Amino acid sequence: MQKEVKRVLVISPHPDDETLGAGGAILKYLAEGAEVYVLEVAGHLPPLYTREDFDITVSEAKSAFEILGVTQFEFLEIPALMIDNQPRHEFNGKIANIVNDFAPHIVLCPFPDRHIDHRVVFESTLVATRPVGVGRNIEIVAAYEVLSETHWNAAHIEPNFTPNWLVDISDHIDKKLDALRCYKSQVSDFPGPRSIEAVEALAIFRGSQAGFAYGEGFHIVRKVS
Amino acid sequence: MQKEVKRVLVISPHPDDETLGAGGAILKYLAEGAEVYVLEVAGHLPPLYTREDFDITVSEAKSAFEILGVTQFEFLEIPALMIDNQPRHEFNGKIANIVNDFAPHIVLCPFPDRHIDHRVVFESTLVATRPVGVGRNIEIVAAYEVLSETHWNAAHIEPNFTPNWLVDISDHIDKKLDALRCYKSQVSDFPGPRSIEAVEALAIFRGSQAGFAYGEGFHIVRKVS
Amino acid sequence: MQKEVKRVLVISPHPDDETLGAGGAILKYLAEGAEVYVLEVAGHLPPLYTREDFDITVSEAKSAFEILGVTQFEFLEIPALMIDNQPRHEFNGKIANIVNDFAPHIVLCPFPDRHIDHRVVFESTLVATRPVGVGRNIEIVAAYEVLSETHWNAAHIEPNFTPNWLVDISDHIDKKLDALRCYKSQVSDFPGPRSIEAVEALAIFRGSQAGFAYGEGFHIVRKVS
Amino acid sequence: MQKEVKRVLVISPHPDDETLGAGGAILKYLAEGAEVYVLEVAGHLPPLYTREDFDITVSEAKSAFEILGVTQFEFLEIPALMIDNQPRHEFNGKIANIVNDFAPHIVLCPFPDRHIDHRVVFESTLVATRPVGVGRNIEIVAAYEVLSETHWNAAHIEPNFTPNWLVDISDHIDKKLDALRCYKSQVSDFPGPRSIEAVEALAIFRGSQAGFAYGEGFHIVRKVS
Amino acid sequence: MQKEVKRVLVISPHPDDETLGAGGAILKYLAEGAEVYVLEVAGHLPPLYTREDFDITVSEAKSAFEILGVTQFEFLEIPALMIDNQPRHEFNGKIANIVNDFAPHIVLCPFPDRHIDHRVVFESTLVATRPVGVGRNIEIVAAYEVLSETHWNAAHIEPNFTPNWLVDISDHIDKKLDALRCYKSQVSDFPGPRSIEAVEALAIFRGSQAGFAYGEGFHIVRKVS
Amino acid sequence: MQKEVKRVLVISPHPDDETLGAGGAILKYLAEGAEVYVLEVAGHLPPLYTREDFDITVSEAKSAFEILGVTQFEFLEIPALMIDNQPRHEFNGKIANIVNDFAPHIVLCPFPDRHIDHRVVFESTLVATRPVGVGRNIEIVAAYEVLSETHWNAAHIEPNFTPNWLVDISDHIDKKLDALRCYKSQVSDFPGPRSIEAVEALAIFRGSQAGFAYGEGFHIVRKVS
């Protein structure tokens, strides 16, 4: 009996979130033979940014994807900070279409945090992954953290990130950091929340919570087995 | 390459909790080829109960285990309602010994609820399963619910059970209920929180949360992969 | 001295929510001589649905109301999934008008859950029932659960439903299920979250939490006496 | 048909807690014809206090009870700060006996707060009022606040008091304060958390939350109807 | 070495919120030599109110500011209840501009509560005060309470206010109440949540939590030192 | 006018917790001219350890204190894991005595976490620092995190650490790590939760949350000003 190949859908609000939050898990799933699909929801687009801004991040994302080994991806091209400006049911439909088409077993999405786009993407992911239709085959829906938007949620008022799933990415940390380095327009020098050093430090901290060297933390919304 | 057989440790405060909370999961794990070990921590023992009370529940448990297919188990024989009377580090040591000896991949324990024994067992399980030593090989620590002690926690003051892991036990519900029927001294007629009807209803409700017929709900404390 | 007849306002996002969440309580209040008013806020209307879709649910609702004994009701006819598209203060005004006109003692509304309409209706109910003006005569504001939208909230991120008020509907469960059966377009076969079996199972589970056979659970937002 | 007289059980960790937390509700229930029973669990007794200390508070309590109109009460005479030193199942048994004997409809107990006696009394009340046996006739279990132990819980770590039940005690505030004045050994001058001024201020604040002049706030643990 | 003068930014959804929530702290900071800037975000403006309504509150605010000693302020003149109607990134930009220009050390904003404007202002303040750019010099971001919108949040569903910062305003309570009296169009007679008596009572209650006579409570979102 | 020297009390369950959780803050407070007193509550003592075990940690602690600059300290010499075995009011008395004698402005204590000693010390600190008597002069009570006991609390059941106070220790990280290196018997190699690397990583992560290089995070229980 042949085991079905796992399909992993990573929903990323903007290029770089997928690597920051789940780059190690992506590498690990691919190494285990899974199929990974990255959906980039929004981006630095007019009217708040120029098309050139966006093109740079797309190009950086493609370099990062190459390092991660991601070959399946899509850019929805919704202007950043403006996802919430369109009717919610329309945006929900876009996310639902991808879930229906890809029929994932694992869905990784952003934690609802300081960045309004992350909240909207989280909520629409939750709607699209309800356990009905293809949603009944989803085994895990989990939210990843993004330095430092996730940790800028208001302490003890808004949801605060505490991972209940820790993935050992010790064998993948180097490639995760390499992929992140592709995002030259997004990565900052240390100290800075999106510096390579800060991302590596977070990986060590998450690892320390579970007894290994480098980790990624997730909040499991629903596991089904 | 041969896959390692999964070892599942079910820590049960009293005989019947393992069936009420995780009977379906036990059946499912065994059906998948896993090894299951049930630890019965306390029981109806003197001074609050008679030895005969205890012997009845042990005999009922063994009948239930036969239906579930559980062949590995142990009774620690601590008097019910009195776990908390012994020094905590001593009790912690007892739980830790079993975790160290069995070296489980999956640990299922009671949710900390109305019953003080459940709280103490929960806490000691958490200590014994820290990700150090053999604890580094544990893949899941999760808490099950027990009708109705778990749902008698004070609403919005004490922790309230919301499952983030739902196990499809549709193929195992009949045996779960049969195993439960062995606990003649514990099961009550409907209506009553430990009636067969109430347990079946809870299974349907948990199933409805995840898109299948009968389910068991767990609160994942830590998943590592 | 004559006791005032209690007025119960049930605010339902869509036809069937009132029966799923509070059908038993409605039957019980009416049996005790209370006046019950059901407000149906939204419905399957264009542009996302056809007018025929809506008319079917209205007709089903009227059949259900007959079984429940509800004679006072209103359909606001706002398109489902689009409540949030109108300015909030306008929608708030609509709910406030009904609260002001009916001057209820008890207000039952949906729990803020996976369905965006439920969230908006919850929030507007909370605004409309503030303890000012007629709001000072409200004795209870409580939120009901709706299978399974309420239980599809993200575990431990969004609010999770834990009832602090349990209503014994043992004498009313048959009629509740009969009323629900009127919603042919909404009810699904078992297994399915809105199957008769799942709704009955939830009633048994809620009953088990309080020592009776069949119950309905509510989250009390504010009780005044 | 004659309506049954309501029986209200107020469980007070130490003399004065019943007045601080529920004095207004006691007066109101008695005014409505209910029977009220006050259980004083602990007190200023040897070895940490002298018997004289205790006798003073008993005498003050009896004066307060006279003003409140309380004629049924009992002093369990457990040394304050030492409830937790006896085996929990023994203490649980004492509380359970009173619940079984009095068979209350309403049970008011302290919120689990900074004072360890309040926590133990809260937990034992929850055990004794489970919806089994006479517990099935209990309509409300609720926790009251005690200035300022309740508000010295660690913010956002321990449970923080937010009332979901507000009782209008505008007609009873004067007597509540008079009863409190009987506790000369416990009441302090303003400013001081147990000053008459602070207690009156809290009553105004609670009233402001529900649209009336003076109120008492409770956290409903379970309401059944 | 000269110590830098502290700059305190008080973001107020509507005229009177700054006095209700932080009037005492404003007086205290000014007495200590700090610079205080009050931003009034919204107001009673057309289309829901008349321009005259707004002018009255502006005039009342200016009288209050005089008593408080506030000389730096600005009215953004966004219509009340309609902040959420404009694109969020535009509104965020307005708040961010003020933060950038004033470069505050302390930022006080409303708690996200029953009033939708308070929620939006809270969220935008959190975005504008992220620890990047001038935000890195902010020492405290904290939320104040507003009688009684803050205490009309749904108990145990929405965030409930529990202060972790208590400011002793015993020396300033008289002026705070005088400033509040300037808001003749907003203040109500006792009983009423915005009566002078209720505001004074809340101050006494907050004081009782920290051992002084009159206090103001805040929820610290972030303190940096 | 001369400003009073700040007195900082660091309550440490076992030698090394003070450095792990608050080493940077200790260095910073001392650099600012404050007085720091470290109370070591428990230690590796018989019967669970040998006296030699304890003496080693005392000697390591003294070396660490030298690096930190701590000259005031005390070892209560309570056997580790057994604090909870003595009557709580006796242990509370010991902590209260030190608070009364030292009369601190700032109190730093462990977060209530996986280690039972940390919980008991937390609770007793909270009792001893109530805002009565000398407690009225305390400006901050805050809890620090200890790798990794604090992060082994059960996710979403027990309190999870989210700092609301971040201290910039960039100028002190080197000395903090040097002090930690003194605890040869406690520090492990990387990977290991108490490795130098893990502690440095946590400092970077905390720094990233507030815009600086290295930080320490605290949960403010009460700030008074």
DSSP code of residue E151: G
Nearest to B168 by CA among B102, B220, B212, B132: B212
Q: Kindly report the backbone phi and psi dihedral angles of residue A208, in degrees, each rounded to the nearest multiple of 5, phi listed first.
A: -65, -25
> C19: which 2 tokens?
């029966």
The pLDDT, as a whole number, for residue E149 is 95
Positive or negative torsion for Cα D5, D9, D15, D18: negative
Q: Kindly report the backbone phi and psi dihedral angles of residue B162, in degrees, each rounded to the nearest multiple of 5, phi listed first.
A: -130, 110
Interface test with F, best of E26, E136, E224 (most F CBs within 10 A): E224
Q: How far is D222 from chain C (nearest CA, A)?
A: 5
Mean pLDDT, rounded, for D95-114? 98
d(CA C145, CA C149): 8
Q: Count the Cβ atoms, other than its own, within 10 Å of residue D51.
A: 12
For residue B138, give the chain A residue with the closest CA. Answer: A210
Mean pLDDT, rounded, for B213-219? 98
d(CA C15, CA C61): 6
Nearest to B13 by CA among B38, B50, B48, B49: B38
Q: How far is F148 from chain D (nearest CA, A)?
A: 18
Residue D58 · residue D15 · CB < 8 Å: yes
For residue E160, give the chain B residue with the closest CA. Answer: B156
pLDDT of E41 above 60:
yes
- Cα of first residue to Cα of last residue in chain F, in angstroms, is 19
d(CA F144, CA B122): 24
| Residue indicated by tokens 């869905």 | A107
SS3 labels along chain F: CCCCCCEEEEEECCCCHHHHHHHHHHHHHHHCCCEEEEEEEEECCCCCCCHHHHHHHHHHHHHHHHHHCCCEEEEEEEECCCHHHCCHHHHHHHHHHHHHHHCCCEEEEECCCCCHHHHHHHHHHHHHCCCCHHHHHCCEEEEECCCCHHHHCCCCCCCCCCCCEEEECCCCHHHHHHHHHCCCCCCCCCCCCCCHHHHHHHHHHHHHCCCCCCEEEEEEEEEEC
Strand segments (E) across chain E? 7-12, 35-43, 72-79, 106-110, 140-144, 165-168, 215-224
Q: Is D193 on the interface with E (CB under 8 A)?
A: yes
Element (H, E) at B111: none
Cβ distance C130 to E116 less than 8 Å, yes or no, reads no
> D32: which 2 tokens?
């409505």
Element (H, E) at E48: none
Q: Is A155 on the interface with E (CB under 8 A)?
A: yes
Interface test with A, best of D156, D157, D160, D162 (most A CBs within 10 A): D156
pLDDT digit string, tens, across residues C93-131 = 999 999 999 999 999 999 999 999 999 999 999 999 999
Q: Is B134 on the interface with D (CB under 8 A)?
A: no
Q: Kindly report the backbone phi and psi dihedral angles of residue D16, in degrees, each rounded to the nearest multiple of 5, phi listed first.
A: 110, -25
Neighbour-count burial of B184, counting CB atoms closer than 10 A to its CB (0-12 exposed, 13-18 middle, 19+ buried): exposed
Nearest to A176 by CA among A25, A43, A56: A25
Residue D142 · residue D219 · CB < 8 Å: yes
Chain C partners of A88 at a C-beta cutoff of 8 Å?
A: 81, 84-85, 116
Element (H, E) at B224: strand B215-224
Cβ distance A211 to B164 less than 8 Å, yes or no, reads no
Mean pLDDT, rounded, for B85-98? 94
Mean pLDDT rounded to a whole number for chain C: 96
Nearest to D68 by CA among D18, D141, D113, D110: D18
Burial of B13-31, coded b for 16+ CB within 10 Å and e otherwise, reads bbbbbbbbbbbbbbbbbbe
Least confident residue range of B53-67, B183-197, C14-28: B183-197
The pLDDT, as a whole number, for residue F1 is 47
Q: Is C3 on the interface with A (CB under 8 A)?
A: no
The pLDDT, as a whole number, for residue E31 is 98
Nearest to E209 by CA among F222, B21, A27: F222
Q: Kindly report the backbone phi and psi dihedral angles of residue A8, in degrees, each rounded to the nearest multiple of 5, phi listed first.
A: -115, 120
For residue F160, give the chain C residue with the closest CA. Answer: C156
Say what angle helices B116-128 and B88-102 make with each other, to 10 degrees: 60
CA-angle at D85, arms to D79 and D89, nearest 5°: 110
Cβ distance A156 to E219 less than 8 Å, yes or no, reads yes
Q: Is E155 on the interface with B (CB under 8 A)?
A: yes
Q: How far is B68 from chain D (nearest CA, A)?
A: 29
Overall pTM surpassing 0.90 (yes/no): yes
Identify which of C131, C211, C221 has the shortest CB distance to residue D211: C131
Mean pLDDT, rounded, for B72-82? 95
- Cα of first residue to Cα of last residue in chain A, in angstroms, is 19
Q: Is D126 on the interface with B (CB under 8 A)?
A: yes
For residue B82, give the chain D residue with the closest CA. Answer: D89
Mean pLDDT rounded to a whole number for chain A: 96
pLDDT of D34 above 80:
yes
The pLDDT, as a whole number, for residue D2 is 60
d(CA E21, CA E15): 11
Q: Is B204 on the interface with C (CB under 8 A)?
A: yes
Element (H, E) at A142: strand A140-144
Q: How confident is the model at residue F2 (pLDDT cuts 50, 70, 90)?
A: low
Identify which of B116, B155, B157 has the shortest CB distance to residue D88: B116
d(CA E224, CA E222): 6
Q: Helical H runs in E106-208?
A: 116-128, 173-181, 196-208
Chain A partners of D156 at a C-beta cutoff of 8 Å?
A: 155-156
pLDDT digit string, tens, across residues E146-195 = 998 999 999 999 999 999 999 999 999 999 999 999 999 999 999 988 99
The pLDDT, as a whole number, for residue B19 is 98
- For residue C121, give every residue at least 6 positions away whose Cβ sits within 8 Å of its Cβ, in sequence order, or none: C11, C13, C41, C42, C83, C95, C109, C110
Residue F179 · residue F67 · CB < 8 Å: yes
pLDDT digit string, tens, across residues F24-75 = 999 999 999 999 999 999 999 999 999 999 999 999 999 999 999 999 999 9
pLDDT digit string, tens, across residues E64-81 = 999 999 999 999 999 999
Percent of chain F topping pLDDT 70: 99
> C46: which 2 tokens?
């264009």
Amino acid at residue number C62 = K
pLDDT of C162 above 50:
yes
Q: Is A155 on the interface with D (CB under 8 A)?
A: yes
Q: How many CB pairs under 8 A join B and C?
A: 80
Cβ distance D164 to C220 less than 8 Å, yes or no, reads yes
Q: How confident is the model at residue A4 (pLDDT cuts 50, 70, 90)?
A: confident
Chain B partners of D132 at a C-beta cutoff of 8 Å?
A: 193
Interface test with F, best of D116, D152, D158, D160 (most F CBs within 10 A): D152
Neighbour-count burial of E13, counting CB atoms closer than 10 A to its CB (0-12 exposed, 13-18 middle, 19+ buried): buried
Interface test with D, best of E20, E113, E151 (most D CBs within 10 A): E151
Percent of chain A topping pLDDT 90: 95
Cβ distance C224 to D168 less than 8 Å, yes or no, reads yes
pLDDT of C1 above 60:
no
d(CA E154, CA B124): 35
Identify which of A156, A164, A192 has the shortest CB distance to residue F162: A156
Q: Is B155 on the interface with D (CB under 8 A)?
A: yes
Q: How far is D67 from chain A (nearest CA, A)?
A: 42
pLDDT digit string, tens, across residues B107-143 = 999 999 999 999 999 999 999 999 999 999 999 999 9
Q: Is A209 on the interface with F (CB under 8 A)?
A: yes
Cβ distance F130 to D114 less than 8 Å, yes or no, reads yes
> D199: which 2 tokens?
């207690």
Mean pLDDT rounded to a whole number for chain E: 96
Residue E81 · residue E206 · CB < 8 Å: no
Q: Is C155 on the interface with F (CB under 8 A)?
A: yes
Chain A partners of C114 at a C-beta cutoff of 8 Å?
A: 126-127, 130
For residue C157, give the chain F residue with the closest CA. Answer: F156
Q: How confident is the model at residue F85 (pLDDT cuts 50, 70, 90)?
A: confident
d(CA A104, CA A39): 12
Write the CA distances from D108 to A6, D25, D29, integer angstroms: 54, 10, 12
Please state the separation of Cα A100 from the chain's center in Å: 19
Q: Give 3-state DSSP helix, strand, coil % of chain B, rounded to 5.
A: 40, 20, 35
Least confident residue range of A33-37, C191-195, E4-8: C191-195
The pLDDT, as a whole number, for residue E1 is 47
d(CA B51, CA B45): 5
pLDDT digit string, tens, across residues E90-114 = 999 999 999 999 999 999 999 999 9
For residue B122, give the chain F residue with the closest CA. Answer: F154
Positive or negative torsion for Cα D162, D167, D168, D174: negative
Q: Is A196 on the interface with F (CB under 8 A)?
A: no
Residue E95 · residue E125 · CB < 8 Å: yes
Write the CA distances from E158 to C122, D150, D219, D221, E112, integer angstroms: 11, 21, 15, 18, 9
Chain D: list its partners (3+ Cβ pairs within 8 Å).
A, B, C, E, F
Kindly report each contact of residues F96-100 with a partner whose C-beta sits within 8 Å and lies 24 or more positions away, as own/partner: F96/F124, F96/F127, F96/F128, F98/F9, F98/F37, F98/F39, F98/F74, F98/F128, F99/F9, F99/F128, F99/F129, F99/F134, F99/F135, F100/F133, F100/F134
Chain C partners of B197 at a C-beta cutoff of 8 Å?
A: 204
pLDDT digit string, tens, across residues B30-60 = 999 999 999 999 999 999 999 999 999 999 9
The pLDDT, as a whole number, for residue F3 is 73
Q: How many CB pairs under 8 A join B and F?
A: 36
Q: Is A221 on the interface with C (CB under 8 A)?
A: yes
Q: Is B156 on the interface with E (CB under 8 A)?
A: yes
> E27: which 2 tokens?
């007086």
d(CA B148, CA C207): 10
The pLDDT, as a whole number, for residue C2 is 60
DSSP code of residue C221: E
CA-angle at B122, arms to B77 and F14, nearest 5°: 105
Identify which of C89, C130, C164 has the shortest CB distance to residue E114: C130
3-state class (DSSP) for residue B20 = helix
For residue C85, give the chain E residue with the closest CA. Answer: E85
The pLDDT, as a whole number, for residue B110 is 98
Cβ distance C114 to A130 less than 8 Å, yes or no, reads yes
DSSP code of residue A59: H
Q: Is A126 on the interface with C (CB under 8 A)?
A: yes
The pLDDT, as a whole number, for residue D3 is 72
Q: How far is D15 from chain C (nearest CA, A)?
A: 26
Q: Is F221 on the interface with E (CB under 8 A)?
A: yes
Chain C partners of E188 at a C-beta cutoff of 8 Å?
A: none
d(CA D148, CA D192): 9
The pLDDT, as a whole number, for residue B2 is 61
Identify which of E48, E114, E156 has the shortest CB distance to residue C126: E114
d(CA D218, CA A139): 41
Identify which of C132, C136, C222 has the shortest CB distance to residue D164: C222
Residue A111 · residue A159 · CB < 8 Å: yes
pLDDT digit string, tens, across residues A181-210 = 999 999 999 998 899 999 999 999 999 999
pLDDT of C89 above 60:
yes
Mean pLDDT, rounded, for F142-148? 96
The pLDDT, as a whole number, for residue B4 is 85
